[in-house]
Every structure is written in C-alpha cells, then in structure tokens.
Amino acid sequence: MTVQAMIEPEALAASRPGDAAVDCRNVTVRFVTERRTVTALENVSFCVGSGGFLSLLGPSGCGKSTLLRVVADLVAPSSGKVAVFGQSPQEARLQRALGFVFQDAALLPWRTALQNVELSLEVGGRPRLPSGMPTPRELLKLVGLEGWEGSFPHELSGGMRQRVSIARALLGGPRLLLMDEPFGALDEITRDRLNEELRRIWRETGTTILFVTHSVYEALFLGEQVLVLAANPGRVASLVDIDLPRERTLAIRETPEFMRTATILRTALGGTE
C-alpha cells in the first residue's frame, strides 16, 4: 500500500466530471452580519465520484459544515457553481437524492424510532418507497436496532439515537449521504464501533458519502479521500487520496500505512491556521 501523492484540487475538479456525485466549482459563501461580512468559504472546488467516500477535515471555523449545507441546498453560495449528479442542489433535494445526518441526531422526541425513520414518507409530497428499497424496519435492522422500533428517543442512548438518524437518512436509498460530525458528541468506544459500521453500510448500499469531521483518525479511517480545509477564510488546503483496503477494521489504525497517512494529514492541517 502506498499513499498517493497529494493532488492539486484544481486538477481533480477538472478530472472525470461525467460520473461526479458532487462537483463544486469556485464556491464562495459570505454571511453578512451587523458588524461585518464573514467569508465562510472562499473559492472552494472539489469533486467526488459516484460511490465515493470523502471526508471533509478541518479546524473549527473552516466552513466544512457550511460546505455540506451548500451541497444540501440549505445554504445558497454567494458565487460559484455546485452540481449534484449533474443537477442543481435544489433539484437533487426535490428528487430525494440527498440524505442528511445532523450533529445531534435531531430526532422528533414524540415519535418512536420507527416513526422517526418513517417521517420522510409523510412529508414533501408523501413519496412512495420504491419497490425493492429497504423498509424502515429493515433499515433499523441494518443499523443494529432490531427490537428497538417502538422506543422513544429519550429511552435510547446517544449512539442509538444517531443510528436511528442514519436509518432515517438512508430511507428511500439516497444517492448521496451528507454527514455533519454525526459522531462528534459520542464517547470514543461508541464512535469507533459506529465508524466501522458506517464503512460496512457504505459498502453494502453503494451510496456516496460526504463526512464532516475534525478528527484526523476518523477522516482517515472512513474516507477514500480526505479534503483538508483551512480556516479564515475556509478554503481547500489539500486533497489526499487514502490507499487503504475497502474492508477496514479498527486494527488498521495500528498499521504503518495508516500512521504515515495520518502524519500527512496532520502536516496538511498544520498549515491551516
């Protein structure tokens, strides 16, 4: 295994635009507040191939959550272009091509685990679940929550709540899963286990994943590629290809290849502040 050389982001954005899941070009986001104008993202370009797993890594304030929200049509870019499967983010959202997992699970406390997963079938034009797609019950089983369907969020642990929210995001088989530091508030043991499971779910569903984190190890363990962002203003520092096997267990973190790539990522992060 070798770590591939860092690729200039511009060069990567220009490559394979055809089968791109997400194609961001020169995206700039500015927020106007009473005191001053904040540039959250400046001239960010990157491209993720369909079926890819991209980790967005950076210090707080580098705009990685904002970038995810631009792709999800939650924040409009001030300039630049974003394409999701060749369409605008809005079209992708209306077609239910996106699933979003939030930092806190954002479950509705008056709904059971199963009813929370079913929510997306009840709103936004009440879409029918395409035949052959996993049902809410099957998705809860996929995230390891069989037997907990009738439990309310306050009866579940933090890790279980986040599993429910992953099942909810997977309903309807979205082609793109956007995850905003979903395991940030969990303890390390739960986090490790969910990291392993997320890799498994990614392999089994074949969905494209954009995963925001500020942990070097999480970014490296999960991603096929890591986009390192720098802060003030948020911009791309580098894009690192991860050459680790598809099937990964936590033990991989002890290997020299993993350590070496971690050093590369940390070096890339070092120049970001």
Instruction: Give the footprint of another protein on residues 105-134 (CB under 8 A).
Output: 106, 108-111, 119-120, 122-125
In 142-217, beta strands by DSSP E: 176-180, 208-213
Residues 168-227, interacting with another protein (CB under 8 A): none
Interactions with another protein, residue window 134-153 (CB under 8 A): 152-153
Q: Which of 43, 80, 87, 102 binds another protein (CB under 8 A)?
A: 102
Report in angstroms how near the CB of residue 122 gets to another protein at its nearest.
7
CA distance 198 to 271: 30
Among 74, 72, 64, residue whose Cα is nearest residue 44? 64
Q: Nearer Cβ to another protein, position 130 or 270?
A: 130
Q: How many residues are given for the chain?
A: 273
- For residues 220 and 241, give the distance between their C-alpha atoms in angstroms, rounded to a whole number: 10
Separate counts of helices (H) and strands (E) for the chain: 9, 9
Interacting residue with another protein among 94, 129, 185, 231 (CB under 8 A): 94
Contacts with another protein: how many residues (CB under 8 A)? Answer: 27
User: CA–CA distance from 88 to each of 163, 257, 273 (Å)?
Assistant: 29, 38, 32
Residue 74 sits in the site that holds another protein (CB under 8 A): yes
Residue whose CB is less far from another protein, 25 or 93: 93
Nearer residue to another protein within complex by CB, 124 or 271: 124
- Sheet containing strand 53-57, strands side by side: 98-101, 176-180, 208-213, 53-57, 225-230, 235-241
What are the Cα distances from residue 30, in Å, to 74, 80, 83, 235, 239? Answer: 14, 12, 19, 13, 23
Site string for another protein, 27-66 (x = CB under 8 A): ----------------------------------------
Which chain residues interact with another protein by CB under 8 A?
69, 72-74, 93-94, 96, 98-100, 102-104, 106, 108-111, 119-120, 122-125, 152-154
